[in-house]
């Protein structure tokens, strides 16, 4: 039970975030530096994320499997760029069963290497391709600066790893999964992400090209929320994933990988939360509706609770994730605040007069005050009225987040203007970009903003780069990012 609310967002965004995570009991710090405990409320949210993604993975022909946690150190070293990227972040097991290991084992930071090795055993002929496997797993990356959900030493994620006979197929798969992530983010999490390609500076270590969905948080910062990598033949060559094609020639396979993690919980918190706390999209909320009964006398109490029980059963029968808060030791007002902080999308209030009228009051989390309240909703129609209102809330949350993103996306025509916009307003800066990697580095150093992506959709056509003055058809989104 929370004693008091969260620090207002406007006062201290960073503290607001930590407050929301801890006071709503999504997660807690652990005694191991940088690791977190995902508490039941946070894990229930993650389970809903998992279900929504897993369904999409299976619909696109993927199956799940499980590969070992521990990877021989020598495997990491087989792909040059990969080992460079991940070496500084490794946790290493050097002792097993009381003895020093001959070869140290790495706790997986990602599984391209061990999975590449297994694929090389399984693939012989073009008939064995494609392999379309996903894994739900924990991974460990030794991060220096951690933040609950956003960047933790251990995190949960899914990692898809596919192998294909042709480059075109692998490219197509990379784009398909980027699309699956975007579809999930937009239609389940109500986050209007932008799909785009990562710059070389920001791509996955070992990939030919990395693609991302970028989300805008409530403070205008960007959050990379899922990535899909075209790995070319880099890992196939490093791990010898070869096959006989239809003309009986030996070829290397083409591979992809794609991942989305518990970081998405952080995205949901920051894309939708407000001064009162969490605001969860109905499709992912562990509790979609909370029923708060209101009474004064004992007689009122029993009739209100009986009525509330009926509503509870009706909604359960309609497939709604609903909770009845019948606690006697706290006031209705306390419950209102508590569930508001926990981001439950819809509150149902039932008092003695509602019972008389065979009706209830519905209050939307996404619309404060009277505006979000509907009075006299007939109890007889709840099985359809409530799901409809949840759909309405889901759509409204996406609309609101889209409007916020668009209002905070700006274009600039000079580097001075760029710096000024970032400093005074933040948000996304969407510009034509013909700079180099070194230019990116310099901008990052001077403004803390990075190229978040080269968006796939760029209706603006050709234009002038704000930094180099060169004409280009390349568009980039710059922002400060988590």
Binding segment for a copy of itself (CB under 8 A), chosen from 68-76, 188-196, 249-257, 307-315, is 68-76
Show the CA angle centred on residue 334, arms to residues 45 and 191, nearest 5°: 30
Q: Whole-angstrom Cα distance, residue 163 to residue 292?
A: 52
Q: Is 63 in the site for a copy of itself (CB under 8 A)?
A: yes
Number of residues that bind a copy of itself (CB under 8 A): 55
Which residue's CB is nearer to a copy of itself, number 88 or number 469?
Answer: 88
Picking from 319, 383, 375, the residue whose alpha carbon sits closest to that of residue 350 is 375
64 vs 331, which CB is nearer to a copy of itself?
A: 64
Which residue in 51, 144, 168, 380 binds a copy of itself (CB under 8 A)?
144
User: Of residues 21, 45, 49, 71, which one binds a copy of itself by CB under 8 A?
Assistant: 71
Q: How many CA atoms lie within 13 A of 326 on its CB side?
A: 13
> Which listed residue (65, 306, 330, 407) binds a copy of itself by CB under 8 A?
65
Residue 149 C-beta: closest distance to a copy of itself, Å: 12
Nearer to a copy of itself, 22 or 314 (CB): 22
Q: Quick one: which of 83, 107, 185, 379 contacts a copy of itself (CB under 8 A)? A: 107
Q: Residue 119 or residue 467: which is nearer to a copy of itself going by CB?
A: 119
Site for a copy of itself contains 2 (CB under 8 A): no
Residue 3 in the binding site for a copy of itself (CB under 8 A):
no
Residue of 8, 13, 22, 44 that binds a copy of itself (CB under 8 A): 44
The yes or no reply on residue 43 touching a copy of itself (CB under 8 A) is: yes
CB atoms under 10 Å from CB of 384, counted, come to 10
Compose the 85-104 pattern: x for residues touching a copy of itself by CB under 8 A, - for all others. Answer: --xxxxxxxxxxxx-----x
For position 69 contacting a copy of itself by CB under 8 A, the verdict is yes
Q: Identify whether 130 is preceded by a cis peptide bond (ω within 30 of 0).
A: yes
Instruction: State yes or no: residue 118 binds a copy of itself (CB under 8 A).
Output: yes
Phi/psi for 112 (5° steps) reads: -50, -40
Residues 373-402 that bind a copy of itself (CB under 8 A): none
Contact 342, 24 (CB under 8 A): yes
Distance CA 20, CA 9 (A): 10
Residue 305 CB, shortest distance to a copy of itself, in Å, is 20
Is 37 among the residues that bind a copy of itself (CB under 8 A)? yes
Q: What is the DSSP letter of 328?
A: S
Please give the Cα distance from 178 to 334 (Å, whole number).
42
What is the C-alpha separation between 297 and 304, in angstroms, rounded?
10
Is residue 360 within 8 A of residue 350, CB to CB? The reply is yes
Strands (E), 316-358: 322-324, 346-350
Q: Which listed range, 67-75, 201-209, 311-319, 457-465, lies at the site for a copy of itself (CB under 8 A)?
A: 67-75
Q: What angle do CA 442, 448, 452 make, to 5 degrees?
A: 90
Residue listed under structure tokens 């006398």: 297
| CA distances, 234 to each of 163, 192, 229, 252 (Å) | 12, 32, 12, 9
State whether the Cα torsion 5-9-10-11 is positive or negative: positive
Does residue number 317 form part of the binding site for a copy of itself (CB under 8 A)? no
> If binding is defined by CB under 8 A, does position 265 make contact with a copy of itself?
no
The binding site for a copy of itself (CB under 8 A) comprises 28, 30-32, 35-40, 42-44, 46-47, 63-72, 75, 87-98, 104-105, 107, 114, 117-118, 121-122, 133, 137-138, 140, 142, 144, 153-154, 156
């Amino acid at each position: 039970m929370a004693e008091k609310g969260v620090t207002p967002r406007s006062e201290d965004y960073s503290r607001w975030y930590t407050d929301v995570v801890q006071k709503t009991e999504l997660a807690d710090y652990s005694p191991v530096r940088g690791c977190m405990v995902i508490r039941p409320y946070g894990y229930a949210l993650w389970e809903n994320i998992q279900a929504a993604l897993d369904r999409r993975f299976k619909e696109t022909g993927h199956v799940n499997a499980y590969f070992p946690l521990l990877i021989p150190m020598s495997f990491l070293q087989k792909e040059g760029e990969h080992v460079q990227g991940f070496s500084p972040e490794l946790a290493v097991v050097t002792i097993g069963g009381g003895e020093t290991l001959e070869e140290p084992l790495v706790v997986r930071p990602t599984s391209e290497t061990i999975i590449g090795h297994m694929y090389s055993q399984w693939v012989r002929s073009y008939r064995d391709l494609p392999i379309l496997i996903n894994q739900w797993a924990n991974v460990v990356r030794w991060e220096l600066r951690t933040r609950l959900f956003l960047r933790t030493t251990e995190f949960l994620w899914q990692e898809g790893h596919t192998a294909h006979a042709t480059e075109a197929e692998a490219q197509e798969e990379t784009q398909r999964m980027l699309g699956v992530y975007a579809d999930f983010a937009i239609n389940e999490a109500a986050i209007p992400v932008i799909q785009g390609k990562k710059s070389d500076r920001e791509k996955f270590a070992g990939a030919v090209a990395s693609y991302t969905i970028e989300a805008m948080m409530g403070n205008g910062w960007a959050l990379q929320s899922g990535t899909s990598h075209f790995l070319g033949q880099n890992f196939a060559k490093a791990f010898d994933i070869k096959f006989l094609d239809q003309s009986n020639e030996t070829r290397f396979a083409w591979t992809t990988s794609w991942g989305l993690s518990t970081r998405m919980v952080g995205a949901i918190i920051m894309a939708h939360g407000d001064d009162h706390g969490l605001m969860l999209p109905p499709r992912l909320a562990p509790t979609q509706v909370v029923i708060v009964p209101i009474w004064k006398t004992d007689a009122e109490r029993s009739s209100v609770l009986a009525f509330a029980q009926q509503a509870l059963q009706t909604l359960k029968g309609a497939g709604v994730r609903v909770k009845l808060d019948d606690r006697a030791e706290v006031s209705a007002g306390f419950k209102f605040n508590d569930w508001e902080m926990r981001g439950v999308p819809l509150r149902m209030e039932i008092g003695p007069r509602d019972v008389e009228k065979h009706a209830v009051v519905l209050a939307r989390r996404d619309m404060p005050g009277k505006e979000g309240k509907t009075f006299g909703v007939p109890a007889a129609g709840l099985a359809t009225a409530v799901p409809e209102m949840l759909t309405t809330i889901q759509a409204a949350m996406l609309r609101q987040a889209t409007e916020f993103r668009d209002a905070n996306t700006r274009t600039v025509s000079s580097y001075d203007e760029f710096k000024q916009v970032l400093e005074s307003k933040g948000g996304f800066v969407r510009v034509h970009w013909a700079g180099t990697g070194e230019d990116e580095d310099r901008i990052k150093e001077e403004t803390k903003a990075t190229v978040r992506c080269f968006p796939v959709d760029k209706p603006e056509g050709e234009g002038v780069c704000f930094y180099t003055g060169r004409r280009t058809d390349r568009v980039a989104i710059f922002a400060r990012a988590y």
